[in-house]
Amino acid sequence: MAAPRSDTFRCIVYARFEMESTEVYIEPALNFLAILNLLGAAQGVLLTLALLSAKGDNKTANRILAALTLTSSIIIGGAVLLTTNYVFLFPHLSRLHHPFVFLAGPLLFLYIRTLTSSEKRFATKDLLHFSAFALCLIYLLPYYLQSAGAKLKYLESEYVQPSLGQWYYARSAVFIAQFLVYLILIVLTIIKYSRRVRDRNSPRARAVLFQVRFFVVASIILWVGAILRLTIDRSAGTNLLVPLGASVLVYAMGYLEMRKPQSLASEGQEPPAKKYEKSTLTTARSERYLNKLLHLMEQEKPFTDGELTIQKLADKLSIPAHHLSQTIYERLGQTFSDFINSYRVEEAKRKLLDPASKHLSVLGIAEEVGFNSKSSFNSVFKKHTNTTPSEFRNALQGSHSNH
């Protein structure tokens, strides 16, 4: 077998086989799709550095997203290297990206869990999510330790006699099954979060819900695309389509994550996360406090008290006020005032729709649900519903008269 060589104008890998006296010439070549993927991989690395250096309240989310972005860049780079035959020039880079495919699902799940939960730090048990990656790495370790010549011989045999082999099918099957499991876990996480923030209009809650739903839909599309390619078309012509889609998804994730702090900060409502850095509130207690809080709000309607403060509400619940504030912020993504006002608006909407309250003026309803002035009622109501209380009531009366 002749060794790989390069000249000024081009690099050609010569592979000679004693099969039917044939000689095969393998020439590395980039096409337009490969160039797009390489640009995507390069920008993914830059995005990783930007996320690691970004200043924000949730550094854990940024770090996980950075890891996911870098993982995608490695996978994309490996796919380009193999598809364009440049792997013959750099045989030691072959198969390096294989274990990283098993990081995509776990990292996406951990990222979404961090966005939607008060659990902001890794626990020891979270390392179990990387078991598939570790096992794949251990399995491939003997291959990684081989010489360049041995790796070239293996790559050349695959080129002349293309055969997916047991390893390809086993790796693909495990990846598809693993990613399906994580998609289910992600959907369950989003459903749980949606129930917690249901009927709430916090800017942060809306932004998080949009973000995670977009990621899930895009991930499902990519997952289905990977299955279709595996079962229908395994040609080199389509080998880079799924990686290209993955790079687009990563750009969107990075853009939304880096844009989110600015959009939320402009609201001027979210307390800084540093306020709770030394808090002794545990996840279990936070969950109990949240259940007690929501039950009290539904059953006793303390929000109708126009003089309600977080201390008064905390006293009713028999929990520390700072723990109540932390629970509302971390579990519901709201400040105390936003949380209370969201209940007041919902109660006002019920009264505006209730024929038994039609004798009440807008100000009368405002006072009954806990607002101290008509102006503040109008302002908060419009923020939550994009309409004023009077317009809301008139629209209802107009629809009734049409019937």
Q: Which fold has domain 283-402?
A: Arc Repressor Mutant, subunit A (1.10.10)
Residue 9, pLDDT above cutoff 50: no
Quote the pLDDT of residue 244: 74
What is the band of 302 on the pLDDT scale with cuts at 50, 70, 90?
Answer: very high
Look at residue 137 and tell me whether its pLDDT is greater than 90: yes
**Residue range 149-160, pLDDT digits in tens:** 888 888 777 655
- Closest by Cα among 270, 260, 273, 266 to 207: 260
- Pick the closest to residue 292 from 320, 326, 325, 319 (CA basis): 319
Evaluate if residue 26 carries a pLDDT over 70: no
- Residues spanned by CATH 1.20.1070.10 within the chain? 26-265
Q: Which residue has the higher pLDDT, 296 or 278?
A: 296
What pLDDT was estimated at residue 245? 77
Within 10 Å of residue 192's Cβ, how many Cβ atoms? Answer: 11
What's the average model confidence in pLDDT over 79-89?
85
Question: Average pLDDT over the chain, rounded to whole?
Answer: 77
- In 3-state terms the chain splits into helix, strand, coil percentages (rounded to 5) of 75, 5, 25
Q: Averaged over 141-153, what is the pLDDT?
A: 89
Instruction: Assess whether pLDDT exceeds 80 at residue 120.
Output: no
Residue 163 has pLDDT above 50, yes or no: no
Percentage of the chain modeled with pLDDT above 70: 73
pLDDT over 80 at 18, yes or no: no
Assess whether pLDDT exceeds 50 at residue 167.
yes
Residue limits of CATH 1.10.10.60 in the chain: 283-402
349 closest CA partner among 372, 366, 332, 335 = 366
335-387 confidence digits (pLDDT tens): 888 899 999 999 999 888 888 888 888 888 988 899 888 888 888 888 888 88
Mean pLDDT score, 318-342: 87
Residue 272 has pLDDT above 50, yes or no: no
Residue type, 254: G
Which are the contacts of 10, defined by CB distance < 8 A and separation ≥ 6?
27
Of 383, 351, 385, 386, which is closest to residue 370 (Cα–Cα)? 351
For residues 272 and 92, which has the higher predicted lDDT (pLDDT)?
A: 92
Helix (H) or strand (E) holding 13, with range, is: strand 11-16
Q: What pLDDT score was predicted for residue 296?
A: 92
Stretch 300-316: mean pLDDT, rounded?
Answer: 90
- 221-248 residue pLDDT tens: 887 877 776 676 555 555 667 777 777 7
pLDDT band at 125 (very low <50, low <70, confident <90, very high): confident
pLDDT recorded at residue 331: 83
Give the pLDDT confidence score for residue 4 in this predicted structure.
44
Whole-number pLDDT of residue 329: 85
Tokens at 329, concatenated: 């912020």
Domain 26-265 has CATH 1.10.1470.10: no
b or e along 305-314 (b: 16 or more beta carbons within 10 Å of the residue's beta carbon)?
A: eeebebeebb
